[in-house]
Structure 1
């Protein structure tokens, strides 16, 4: 067994015995996301490297500490990529952090989320056992899909060691279009277009400007462009725009004074009429909000069948408002049972998702 893993097993055993929790840290690029975990730091970023890559099978397996930029480079050499466009939020982003955070980029509306591309996971649980779930093929259908359960768990269930992921070929052609349109009309258009066979791979509305990205076969992209109209963005500007959304370097996300909320709602939900500036992605299903009152935001999101996450904020607001939508009693019981099954002594990332978990 790898000496690093042996060391971590010893640390986990000591933590379980003493009752001192551990705070898992890979590259640290997403340390801002979630609550402030309690515990002694467990650095896991050194467990890195691509274990297996079969381009013809569209499958790659990498250790959790592998930098995302390293994985992206290896895939690009074979004309492939992670199509859900995981945000890096810095050069230190790792494969394990990508899985733990469970965040997807602009293309989420077209291809699915991180969890939809997870085929298998190897991990350490709270008793120091090495567990493997899933595999390296796309038809993993036997039993519970535990591997995907790791996506978005924020390290509360265990230390991810390896991840097997489905990859896809890079798009043959892409074009981005812009339209001057208000929020209500933009939402109406996005839902109308979403019901048609158009190669829309991303959308973003902000300050009365709607931007669409078309991806796919050159003929399909050209036909959709003629059908939709709009102003075409130069390729360089288009690439920079979508990357700025993915990495939150776009001007809307700048500054730390006002909290940043992420609302997940049905795409058909009307404008929510909340105080603060709004940016809309994923065909209307993801809505970012700057500022606003926590209670009003969560009530408005719940009213249309969604929920709100306090994505970026100072620790005092996180403590008072909570980062994630409060769980109903049945869901809270499920979370507690899952936590106990994987981490019975509560060793990992206490408080990162919810107090007491």
Structure 2
């Protein structure tokens, strides 16, 4: 489990830079479906693993990029702690580096924070074949540009992640899931989010709304009395299935879209079946609508959409960006990856 492959990985990156050979870093391939089709030579990170430091009192853990999330979860659970951004495991094959590079957070995200909110420091192989460190292992460590967070969600476009330091959270004292069927589910979800209740999950699947409460026993019980509903017997399994896209709503042959919107946005005029997560801010859509229609409709509602599974991927899977944003992305890419070897085009960069 504890293996340091820094030397071999650095040598591989330097060869790629010298020969202008694109690289696509990967762990166990659990998120190979996400992003644009990747080109280039595979760079295996899975063997580069192990927890390097963990002080429960500091609420920070540092581990190599290939460390399985399941192992990190076990280490943290032994001390009553957890990864607050609740990253998907996708069949138990997810790694820490993959979780950070993909930038995907689970149902707890609106209340705990995004992936980049938890990243404190990274150690990477940069575009010059050098091993460099950005950030550190404390909350207040940033002076100037906050480069560690730039790697969250970059899909490997700016360098090869070797190590990551992330902030962790205590496991809640009490957690339960309620199931309700309000007359207007979206309006009910918006109203519940305005209340001072310890929410940590809010999902609408058809007419059913699943609401997770996490916190002290007194706080959870008080909120439950106000909300009502029935307790879901195995709430933990439900939220894990939602996190890993394993609920029945995710099954089917139609393309799967992830649509990010302001939570109170009314239903969009797009054909297909919807599942709403993050209290309405993240919406999953099974639809045969053309990509241009989905992107245009999402943009008109002040949101954006990503094609996650299936569909026509010839024009890319991410919402087209503005001309100004495209310029910024090109400049970042040129600065951090001058030889253009990282990411294999997976992020569209």
* Cα distance, 1:195 vs structure 2: 1.5
Aligned to 2:274: 278
Following TM superposition, by how much is the alpha carbon of 1:10 offset from its aligned partner in structure 2, in angstroms?
Answer: 2.2
Q: 1:262 aligns with which of 258, 264, 272?
A: 258
CA distance in 1, matches of 2:324, 2:220: 46
Query: What is the SS of the residue equivalent to 2:156?
Result: coil
- What residue in structure 1 maps to residue 150 of structure 2? 149
Residues 8-49 of structure 1, C-alpha deviations (whole Å, 9 max, x = no match): 222222222222211111121101100111111111111100
Rounded to whole Å, the distance in 2 between the matches of 1:7 and 1:302 is 44
1:123 and 2:118 matched: no
Mapped contact 2:27–2:66 kept (Cα < 8 A): yes
Determine if the alignment matches structure 1 residue 319 to structure 2 residue 320. Answer: no
Residue 309 of structure 1 aligns with which residue? 306
Q: Provide the C-alpha distance between the structure 2 equivalents of 1:89 and 1:15, rounded to a whole number of angstroms.
A: 30
The aligned counterpart of 1:335 is 329
Deviation by residue 1:86-126 (Cα, 9 ceiling, x = unmatched): 00112221110000000000111211111111110000012
CA deviation map 1:218-241 (0-9, x unaligned): 00110100001112222xx21111
| Cα deviation 1:132-164 (Å, max 9, x = unaligned) | 111000112311111011000001111001000
CA contact (8 A) 2:4 2:49 kept: no
The 5 A counterparts of 1:140-179 are 140-179=141-180
Question: How far apart are the structure 2 equivalents of 1:210 and 1:9?
Answer: 48
Matched, 1:291 2:290: no
How has the CA–CA distance of structure 1 residues 3 and 79 changed in structure 2, closer, same or farther, with 3 Å as cutoff? closer
SS of the aligned residue for 1:319 comes to: coil
Q: Are the aligned partners of 1:274 and 1:292 in contact in 2 as well (CA < 8 Å)?
A: no
Q: Hey, which bits of structure 1, 4+ residues long, moved more than 4 A?
A: none
Alignment of 1:1-357 (within 5 A): 4-181=5-182, 185-234=184-233, 237-255=234-252, 257-293=253-289, 294-313=291-310, 317-320=312-315, 322-354=316-348, 357=349
Residue 195 of structure 2 aligns to a residue whose secondary structure is coil
1:297-324 deviations in Å (ceiling 9; x for gaps): 111211111000001125xx1113x210
Counterpart Cα distance in 2 of 1:274 and 1:3: 48
Structure 1: state its 5+ residue gaps: none
- Root-mean-square deviation (Å): 1.3
Cα distance in 1 for residues equivalent to 2:215 and 2:92: 29
Task: Work out the CA distance in 1 between the residues paired with 2:131 and 2:104.
Answer: 25
Alpha-carbon distance between aligned partners in 2 of 1:191 and 1:207, rounded to the nearest angstrom: 16
Q: Give me the TM-score of the superposition, normalised by structure 2.
A: 0.96
Cα distance in structure 1, aligned partners of 2:344 and 2:79:
40
The answer on whether the counterparts of 2:122 and 2:164 sit within 8 Å (CA) in structure 1 is: yes
